[in-house]
Amino acid sequence: MSFAIRPFHPGDIPALYRICLHTADSGKDATYFFDDPDLVGHIYAAPYVIFEPELCFILTKAEQPLGYILGTKSSPVFSAWCEREWFPVLRQRYPLHSKTGSALQQRLVELMHLGHQIHPDFDAYPAHLHIDILPKGQGGGNGRKLMRKFLLKLGELHVTAVHLQVGKSNPGAIKFYQHLGFHEIKNDEKSVAFGMHLSN
Question: What pLDDT is attached to residue 104?
Answer: 87
> pLDDT class for 1, splitting at 50, 70, 90?
low
Q: Assign residue 33 the CATH number of its domain.
A: 3.40.630.30
Q: Please give the residue that has the higher pLDDT: either 66 or 190.
A: 66
Given a cut of 90, whether residue 139 has pLDDT beyond it is no
Question: What pLDDT is attached to residue 86?
Answer: 98
Question: pLDDT tens-digit profile of 47-106?
Answer: 999 999 999 999 999 999 999 999 999 999 999 999 999 999 999 999 987 777 788 899
Judge contact between 169 and 26, C-beta under 8 A. yes
Domains of the chain: total: 1
Judge contact between 136 and 170, C-beta under 8 A. no
Question: What pLDDT is attached to residue 200?
Answer: 60
Q: Please give the residue that has the higher pLDDT: either 171 or 98.
A: 171
Taking residue 17's Cβ as centre, other Cβ atoms within 10 Å add up to: 19
Torsion of CA 54, 30, 90, 41, to 10 degrees: 10
Coil, helix or strand at residue 162: strand
**Beta-strand pair 191-197/127-133:** unpaired
Nearest 5°: the CA angle 163, 172, 150 is: 35
**Beta-strand pair 64-72/161-167:** unpaired
Judge contact between 117 and 87, C-beta under 8 A. no
Q: What does the pLDDT average to over 184-192?
A: 92
Domain that holds residue 90: 3-197
Q: What does the pLDDT average to over 2-14?
A: 97
Residue 26, phi-psi category: left (phi > 0), alpha (psi -120 to 50), beta (remainder): left
Given a cut of 90, whether residue 199 has pLDDT beyond it is no
Encode burial over 44-73: b for 16+ CB neighbours within 10 A, e otherwise. Answer: bbbbbbebbeebbbbbbeeeebbbbbbbbb
Q: What does the pLDDT average to over 146-151?
A: 97
Q: What does the pLDDT average to over 127-140?
A: 95
> pLDDT class for 118, splitting at 50, 70, 90?
confident
Judge contact between 21 and 44, C-beta under 8 A. no
Q: What's the CA gap between 74 and 150, in Å, rounded?
A: 14
